[in-house]
Chains A and B, each alone.
Chain A
C-alpha cells in the first residue's frame, strides 16, 4: 500500500500565506492525512475504492510539476468560439474576441473563502490544503455572451506520477448567460492524478450551459467536485460525455437556493477496457417550485466499470418540487459492471419526484433485425450503441456543436473497434 501522507512543509513550498489561510490549509491537510484516500468502507466511495486504485497505479504522487514551454494546440474549427487555455490546471491564455471586454473577468484563481466547513470527502480536504492553480471567471450582470466559451484543458506529456490540485470558480451575474464547452486534450502518456474543486455561482435569472468532453483516451485519474449554487430563476444545464480516462469520478452538487431555479444534467458514456467511471450527484431542493432533471446513459464494454449514485434531497419548505432521475446502462460484456444507487430524501409533502434505473445486455431481437438487413453483428451493435447514446446528444440545441460532439463520440466508438 502506498503510504500517502503529506508533510506540512508542502504548504510552505506552494507559497506564503497569511495566518488565516495557512490555518485553513493545515487543518485540511490534517484531515486528509488522518483519513488518506477514501476506500470502499466509506458509503460515498463504496463502488470506487480509490485507495486501492491509487495504490495499484501510483508509486508516488509528486506535487511538483516541471513547467513546460507554451504548447500549441489544435483549435476547434467547426464553430466560432471564445477560449481560455488551461495547462495542467493553470490558466495560460484567454481570448474573448467576440465579446465586450469589460463584461468578462478572467484571472488566476486564489481562494479567499476559509470557512472551516467539515468536509466528508478527503479529496476536497486535499484540494483545500494544496490547491495552487486554477481560474476565476466572472460574467458581469446583464450580459449574454455572443459565442460559446471553449475551455481547452491541456495536460502535457511531462506529467508522470504527479498530482494536480486545481481550484476553479465561475460566477455568472444577474440576467447573464454563459455557455461553456470544456474540452480536454490529454497528451500525458503516464499516469497522473487530477483533483479539481469547482465552485459555480449563478445569480438571479442567470443561465449556464456546460458541455464537457474528453478528446482522447488517456492515463489520467480524475476527481472533480463541483459545487453549484443557483439563485432565483437561474438555470444550469450540463451535458457530460466523460469517457476516456482511466479513472474518473464526477461529484456534482447542486443547491437550488432560489425559487424557480432549475438544473438539468445529462450524461452519455462509452466505457471500454478497464475504464472506471463514477458520476455522483446530489441535488438539493432548498426552495419551492424548483425543477431538476437527470438522465445518465452508460455503455460498458470489456472490463469497464460504471457507477451512478444520484441523490435528490427535498427540504420541508421546497413544495412543488419537480425532480426526475433516470439511469440506463447497456453491458456489452460479461466482465463489465454497472452500479446504480438512486436515493430520494424528501421532507416536503407536495412534490413530484421520480427515479428509474435499468441495466442489461443489448437486445438480441434488435441485433437480429439489423443483421437480417445485411449488417454484421459488430455493425449492428455499433448502430444500437450510437442510437442509445444519441438520445443525449440530440438534446444539444446548436447543430454545429451537436455534430462536433457526435463526431467525437463516434471516434471513441471507432477506437473500440480498432482495439
Chain B
C-alpha cells in the first residue's frame, strides 16, 4: 500500500526527515511514536502533499510515485489525513462541505454523486456512531468546535470518505478518556484487510485501544527502532531517552 524508502525532507534549509524507511501492507496498522520535533507531523504533511518541503527518496502509494500526484488526487485515490489541528473554516457549513468532499471522491472513483437525502442518511448514522451532536453538522466547519469535537469531526470524515490509507496525526492529543475511546472505536470499526493505518502519536494511551501490528520509534528524522506493541509498553516505562 505504502512504501517509503530513504525519505528526506527539509523545510527552509532545515533537515527534518533524514532517511526514513517504512512499508505498510493492506490491512496493517502501524504506529509511529516519537518525541516532540522528531518529524512526525512532517511525515504526515509530506504524505498528504503539503507544499513547502524539499523532498528526496522514494514514496510509493499503490505502486505509484506519490510525489507526482497532486494533493486533491491523493484524497480522491484514497489517502486520508486526520489533522492534528483541523483548520477552522468560517462560513462553510460542515455538512455541505462533507457532501462536496464525498461527491468529489465518489466522482473520481466513477461512482454516482449522492443526493442530499441519501447523504443525510449516511451522515446521521455515522455521526451517531461517534456520539456527535447532530447540530454540529449544521455549524460552520470546525469554527468554535472544542478540541474533542474537532477530532471527532476528523474521524467522521474518515468514516464517510472511506479511504484506503489513513494517517492519524496525533488524533489522540487533547482528548479526554471517553472521547479517546470513541475515536479508537471509530478506528477499530473501520479496519479491514483492504485498509491501512498510520497512527502518529506521543503516547501509548491510544494504542492500548487499537492494537497496532507494528510500532516504530521516530527520533531525529529516522526510525530508530521497530517492534510490536511491547515496544510501546517499554517506551511508556523508560521514556524516549531509554530507547537506544
B is a partner of A: yes
**Does the CB pair A374–B92 fall under 8 Å?**
no
Whole-angstrom distance from the CB of B231 to the nearest CB of chain A?
30
Most chain B beta-carbon contacts within 10 A, residue among A363, A383, A389, A394: A383
How many A-B contacts at CB < 8 Å in the complex? 72
- Assess whether A8 is interfacial by the CB under 8 Å rule: no
Query: Residues 371-404 of chain A: 1 if any B CB is under 8 Å from the residue's CB, otherwise 0?
Result: 1111111010001101111110010000000000
A98 neighbours in B (Cβ, 8 Å): none
Identify the stretch in B6-14, B80-88, B202-210 within 8 Å (CB) of chain A at 4 or more residues: B80-88
Contacts of B48 in A (CB 8 A): 372
* A358 contacts chain B at the CB level, 8 A cutoff: no
Are the C-beta atoms of B91 and A372 separated by less than 8 Å? no
State whether the Cβ of A365 lies closer than 8 Å to any Cβ in chain B.
yes
Give residues of chain B (97-117) contacting chain A, Cβ–Cβ below 8 Å: 97, 100-101, 104-105, 108
Query: In the bound complex, do residue B75 and residue A372 qualify as a contact, i.e. CB atoms below 8 Å apart?
Result: yes
Sorting the interface of chain B by its residue count into under 10, 10 to 19, 20 to 34 or 35 or more gives 20 to 34
CA gap between A373 and B50 in the complex, in Å: 12
**B70, B74, B86, B161: which contacts A369 (Cβ < 8 A)?**
B86
Q: How distant is A376 from chain B, measured CB to nearest CB, in Å?
A: 5
Tell me the complex Cα distance, A368–B97, Å: 14
Supposing A365-B87, A383-B97, A387-B140 touch, asked if A372 and B92 sit within 8 A by C-beta, the answer is no
Given contacts A375-B100, A383-B97, A387-B140, contact A369 B83 (CB under 8 A): yes
Whether B72 sits at the interface, judged by CB under 8 Å, is: yes
Which B122-177 residues sit within 8 Å CB-CB of chain A? 140, 157, 161
| Interface of chain A: mostly helix, strand, loop or mixed | helix
CA distance A387 to B89 in the complex (A): 8
CA distance A388 to B92 in the complex (A): 8
In the complex, B179 has a CB within 8 A of chain A: no
B49 part of interface (Cβ distance < 8 Å): yes
For B89, give its contact among A370, A371, A377, A394 (CB under 8 Å). A370
- Tell me if B89 and A374 are in contact (CB < 8 A): no
Least CB distance, A410 to chain B, in whole angstroms: 13
B53-94 residues with Cβ-Cβ distance < 8 A to A are 70-72, 74-76, 80-81, 83, 86-87, 89-92
B residues in contact with A384, CB < 8 Å: 89, 91-92
Q: Which residues of A contact B91 (CB under 8 A)?
A: 384, 386-391, 394
| Chain B CB within 8 A of A35 CB | no
B106 vs chain A, min Cβ distance (A): 9
- Chain A residues lying within 8 Å of B70, measured Cβ to Cβ, are 376
Q: Are A374 and B76 in contact (CB under 8 A)?
A: yes
Q: What is the bound-complex CA distance between A258 and B104, given in angstroms?
A: 55
Q: Is the CB of A372 within 8 A of B90?
A: no
* A contact set with B: CB distance below 8 Å: 363, 365-366, 368-377, 379, 383-384, 386-391, 394
12 extra interface residue pairs, beta carbon distance < 8 Å, beyond A371-B75, A373-B157: A368-B87, A370-B97, A371-B71, A372-B83, A373-B101, A373-B104, A374-B72, A375-B100, A375-B101, A388-B90, A388-B91, A391-B91
User: What are the 5 closest A-B residue pairs judged by CB atoms, nearest first?
Assistant: A387-B91, A374-B104, A374-B75, A387-B92, A373-B101
